Chains A and B, each alone.
Chain A
Amino acid sequence: MSGPLLLAVESSCDETGIALVEDGRRIHANVVASQVALHAPTGGIVPEVAARAHLRWIVPVLDEALATAGVSMRDVDGVAVTYGPGLAGSLLVGINFAKTLAFAHRKPLVPVNHLEGHVYAGWLLDPGEDEREAPPFPLVALVVSGGHTFLVEMRDHLDYRYLGGTVDDAAGEAFDKVGRLLGLGYPGGPAISREAARATAHDRVFPRAWLGESYDVSFSGLKTAARRIVAQAREDEGLPADEREGALAEATVAELAWGFQDSVVDVLAAKTIRAAEEIGARGIVLGGGVAANSALRARISGEAAARGIAMVIPRPGLCTDNGAMIGAAGARRLAAGVRAGLDLDARPSLPLARPTSR
């Protein structure tokens, strides 16, 4: 493989990521400064704190990425950067830093949508990893994270048709909320996944919101139900209502975590598989932080394999926010001639593809 080498910058939320990616696939470096621990005490991201941490870490992350790849800015063929969607203050740090690098080193500047980055993580190859087929078109991509939950159809590169998505909360938000209810802290996703794997009883069933034949999903009802089910469990164990006062039995936490996770996984997997069948997809791509969830990965993989559909799920470190995925999408945009000027600004609500009537 030999194609353009992109320096890619991601700072839309609470990870500062800078990567060097060759030809939109091969990772040469992918350095991420994660602020997860920084925001744990507040149980969520404080935008001002996040933006300052981006400013603090962006230079060391760049230096580390260049050193790991063993290249200098002279070897770079372009600078890709996330310009939305995301937190305005966080986006601004990466955008202005990337713009300045492109300006000072006289490199093309390529604006990338964060959400298409999550999709394109499916194209990435780690350093030293064997070559493998790129995800085949047409495909269905499911992106699930703390801020986003949607399904798109792709018939070619950079061509997205919105199939459906959450009508209220993102799946990751529901994980955080239920994680808190179960006393598992923030972020909820990894903790719920870990607890669910320990469950020995699988009897507590959480509701599923199917929303008819659409590809839309909803998690607010599930959150409400979770609150009720956890409250009932606390009462059964003679605990006060406030989840900070006394913990549920470990076995109960595991069982409830499993029940909640099974509901999320069931709906997401069923809709993704149905969408793939309907459009005759040859491939399914999973992306976003929640795609690191092993139950979701196992369920969709199994169903895809049974139907002969190629399944592409990046390793967990490439599902969460990182620069490499921006480099993968950026390469396609660079090839398509997409460029940004020095006036590039943050687009906090940038859509990937608008819902259309089908």
Chain B
Amino acid sequence: MTTGGPILLIDTATTRAVIALGGADGSLRAERGWTAGYRHGEELLERIERLLADEGVALADLGAVAVGTGPGAFTGLRVGIATAKGLAHALSVPIVGVATGAALLDAAASAAGTGALVLVQPAGPNDRVLVRRGEAARILPGGTDPDLAPGERLVAVDLAGRSPEDAAALGGLAVDGLAAAMLATAARRLAAGDADDLARLVPEYVTLPRGVRMPQPDEGVEVSGATPERAKP
């Protein structure tokens, strides 16, 4: 499935945007991170252009695009996935969506050694989202604490000042190792021929306004205009 060219990674799920180039084997070749806040869209393409130039890689040389699917900030995820889709389409290369939460846990684990880890990230102004390995991410309403099993440690990302210091420190390490962890996952999936469907790839949403059910990806949309109706005389 992979064409053997370098993998371009984009993750905009956290307030620290990350882009990286990896070998087809998933090895980290170069990465750039910056504090994007909630304005990921303004710098992303220019940063990608510069990274490629610095590494002497032409856009057309890329073999695949990997992109973080969250959970994380809605704004960032939309920017990252829309950009990744545009690139994969323009270059006709495979796209792989990588769960940012799982990759943050991978990165934290390689930094912290052993021990069960639980990731917490902000969800809106008050709530938090909780990710355990192998489980679906779930919402932790504001004011409630995660129920940790004995020995489990918290990894807090984007929650500095709202979480224990050691959890925030571990979160910092997880963010530092995010690009390498995501590239490893992406390369493994590409090697296994497990790329995503370019059309159907969407971010992982955990929160929606109360009472709103998240529709199935193909639900409720009607496409028209493939053969345009003629104007009435």
Contact = CB atoms under 8 A, between A and B. Distances in A.
Given A48-B205, A89-B78, A100-B83, A342 B45 contact: yes
B74 A97 contact: no
B2 to A, nearest CB: 19
Given A38-B215, A55-B85, A46 B225 contact: no
A191 interface: no
B94 to A, nearest CB: 13
B115 to A, nearest CB: 34
A92 B78 contact: yes
A55 B202 contact: yes
A128 interface: yes
B91 A93 contact: no
B86 A57 contact: no
Please report whether the interface of chain B is mostly helix, strand, loop or mixed according to DSSP.
loop
A342 B79 CA distance: 13
A89 B74 contact: yes
Contact of A96 (B49, B74, B86, B226): B86
B215 to A, nearest CB: 6
Nearest to B230: A126
A345 interface: yes
B143 to A, nearest CB: 23
B221 interface: yes
B228 interface: yes
Interface in B80-94: 81-83, 85-87, 89-91
A62 interface: yes
A205 interface: no
Interface string A26-66: 01011111111111101000101101110111111110110
A269 interface: no
A39 B45 CA distance: 32
Given A49-B212, A49-B214, A32 B224 contact: yes
Given A37-B222, A49-B208, A100-B86, A92 B228 contact: no
A65 B202 CA distance: 21
Interface centre among A98, A343, A344 (most CB of B within 10 A): A343
Nearest to B80: A96
Contacts of B55: none
A340 to B, nearest CB: 11
Please report whether the interface of chain A is mostly helix, strand, loop or mixed according to DSSP.
helix
Interface centre among A62, A88, A104, A322 (most CB of B within 10 A): A104
Contacts of A315: 229, 231-232
Interface string B209-222: 10010110111111
Interface residues of B, number: 50
A33 B221 contact: yes
B46 A342 contact: yes
B203 interface: yes
Given A29-B228, A104-B86, A315-B232, A92 B217 contact: no
A57 B231 contact: no
Contact of B82 (A31, A61, A93, A128): A93
A100 B48 CA distance: 11
B224 A345 contact: no
Interface string A86-107: 0011001111111111011100
Interface residues on chain A, size class:
35 or more
A34 B228 contact: no
B231 A346 contact: no
Given A36-B222, A345-B42, A55 B203 contact: yes
B162 interface: no
Given A31-B224, A38-B220, A129-B231, A96 B75 contact: no
Interface in B14-64: 39, 41-46, 49, 59
Contacts of B169: none
Nearest to A104: B90
A57 B215 CA distance: 14
A127 interface: yes
Contacts of A322: 225
Contacts of A32: 223-225
Given A27-B228, A35-B221, A315-B231, A345 B39 contact: yes
A70 interface: no
Contacts of B220: 35, 37-40, 53
Contacts of A99: 41, 45, 83, 86
Contacts of B228: 27, 29-30, 68, 126-127, 317
Contact of A97 (B39, B86, B224): B86
Given A51-B78, A97-B86, 9 more contacts: A35-B221, A39-B220, A49-B215, A59-B85, A64-B226, A99-B45, A103-B86, A126-B228, A343-B43
16 contacts: A29-B228, A31-B224, A33-B221, A38-B219, A48-B205, A53-B215, A56-B200, A58-B82, A58-B85, A93-B78, A96-B41, A97-B82, A97-B86, A103-B45, A126-B229, A346-B41
User: Closest 8 A-B residue pairs measured CB to CB?
Assistant: A100-B86, A38-B220, A104-B90, A96-B82, A342-B45, A31-B225, A37-B220, A97-B82
